[in-house]
Structure 1
Amino acid sequence: MTSDDLRERIVDAADSLYYAKGYAAVGMDELRSAAGVSLRRLYSVFASKDEIVLAVLDRRHQMWEDGVAERVGRVEDPREKLLAVYDYLADWFCDDEFRGCGFINAFGELGGTNPAVAQAVREHKASFQRFVARLVEAAGASPALAAQLAILAEGAQTTAAISGDPAVAAQARGAAEVLVAAAGAAAAA
């Protein structure tokens, strides 16, 4: 097994465990066991649990960006692209393993005591805001719409995680439709 394969095996196990149980609840022994590696091998790849948490967040960031971009890329109309973000959320919220946003979860558990985790979360959220801002610009709407749509998506993630109701995505999409229509009317006036 290559060192890259070993690293991926550890990150896979950590991601599954942290997302299901929480970051603080999973110890290194449980992670070692789930990854099928010795503690010594695990520490030869990652010097600390913090490094593993950051690797998991990095992976989740890439999964999020790829997933949202793929869903948005399915439609041509610039305004429909804005709404496709909520279609992505609808698919995600219906996943049996959905436990909310891994970044919000990490920030809630570790953000106050771990500056590196807090920074990774902030960077992820800023990246999403920039993505939405590019979509808003392509749609010819006011830049203010980007922050509104991003906040709506963030709120939907938290609400769906707490309520366990995937219908939150449709509700958020409906609110986004109103915001997009109002932005279109304002631009036309």
Structure 2
Amino acid sequence: MPAPISAEQKTRDRAALLDAAEALFYARGIQTVGMDAVRAAAEMPLKRIYGQFPTKEELVVAVLHRRDQRWRASLAEYVERHGDPRERVLAIFDWLERWFTEPDFRGCAWINAYGELGSTSPAILAEVRAHKQAFHDQIAAWVQAAAPVPAEPVTLLAEGAIVTAAITGDPTAVRPARNAAKSLIDDATNRDPEDDGR
């Protein structure tokens, strides 16, 4: 009889499994990736995979949830290096442009998941909505500290830049969005438009 798997091994298995599944789902799409491909990439028996995640849907939700935490933490770390509230808002778009230039950039993982499964999986839809709300709330906090303007236009500018960059393959697609956000902030605070914040 095989020895029971330790809690430490289960933690390592979970991390390896999520790493493998995230890379595959993001690069190739969720529906095109079977569990055999995940098993091969994770170098783990299917029995151990299903011991962690009884269904593929649960695995997808876990991948999205973990990616949300890492993605928004990276954004916050970059934005909050800037002391000036206005610079923090503009830094959102600078961070996005850096992300868009990464060789594995394939657009928004949550929009991609929604496009594939959002209409058929309530659990995935809930995770996508949770991410989008959390992203909005992050932006709202930075915008409210910078100027008396609503967060929604800035959020929509960021979301639109993500989609446009993914479709066109042009990381500079974010720059008009940055300029528009800058104009919103500057108009609300009567700031000199010649100060571009770079």
Q: TM-score category by the smaller chain?
A: over 0.9
> In 2, are the aligned partners of 1:104 and 1:121 still within 8 Å (CA)?
yes
> In 1, are the aligned partners of 2:114 and 2:125 still within 8 Å (CA)?
yes
**Alignment gaps of 5+ in structure 2:** 1-7, 192-198
Give CA deviations for 1:149-187 in whole Å, capped at 9, x if unaligned: 00100010000000000111222212211122122239x
* Residue 121 of structure 1: how far off its partner (Å): 0.7
Q: How far, CA to CA, are the matches of 1:107 and 1:84 in structure 2? A: 27
Q: How far, CA to CA, are the matches of 2:72 and 2:174 in structure 1? A: 18
Q: 2:73 aligns with which of 48, 54, 66?
A: 66
SS of aligned partner of 1:33: helix
* Residue 99 of structure 1: how far off its partner (Å): 0.1
Q: 1:14 aligns with which of 21, 45, 53?
A: 21
2:113 paired with 1:122: no
* Residue 64 of structure 1: how far off its partner (Å): 1.6
* Residue 130 of structure 1: how far off its partner (Å): 1.0
* Residue 55 of structure 1: how far off its partner (Å): 0.8
- What's 2:83 paired with? 76
Q: How far, CA to CA, are the matches of 2:188 and 2:105 in structure 1? A: 32
Q: 1:153 aligns with which of 142, 152, 158?
A: 158
> In 1, are the aligned partners of 2:147 and 2:185 still within 8 Å (CA)?
no
> In 2, are the aligned partners of 1:68 and 1:85 still within 8 Å (CA)?
yes
- What's 2:112 paired with? 105
Give CA deviations for 1:47-74 in whole Å, capped at 9, x if unaligned: 0101110111011101221111011111
TM-score of the two chains, using structure 1 as the length reference: 0.94
Amino-acid identity (%): 46
Give CA deviations for 1:90-135 in whole Å, capped at 9, x if unaligned: 1100000000000000011010000111111111111111111111
> In 1, are the aligned partners of 2:85 and 2:146 still within 8 Å (CA)?
yes
Q: How far, CA to CA, are the matches of 1:73 and 1:185 in structure 2? A: 23
Computing the radius of gyration from Cα coordinates, the structure with the larger value is: 2
Q: CA RMSD in A?
A: 1.3
Q: How far, CA to CA, are the matches of 1:41 and 1:136 in structure 2? A: 45
- What's 1:185 paired with? 190
**Alignment gaps of 5+ in structure 1:** none
Q: How far, CA to CA, are the matches of 1:80 and 1:17 in structure 2? A: 35
* Residue 140 of structure 1: how far off its partner (Å): 3.5
Q: If each structure's helix is expressed as a fraction of its own residues, which one has the higher value?
A: 1
> In 2, are the aligned partners of 1:160 and 1:166 still within 8 Å (CA)?
yes
Question: Would you say how many aligned residue pairs link Structure 1 and Structure 2?
Answer: 184
- What's 1:40 paired with? 47
Residue type at the aligned position of 2:56: K
Residue type at the aligned position of 1:30: A
- What's 1:88 paired with? 95
> In 1, are the aligned partners of 2:31 and 2:116 still within 8 Å (CA)?
yes
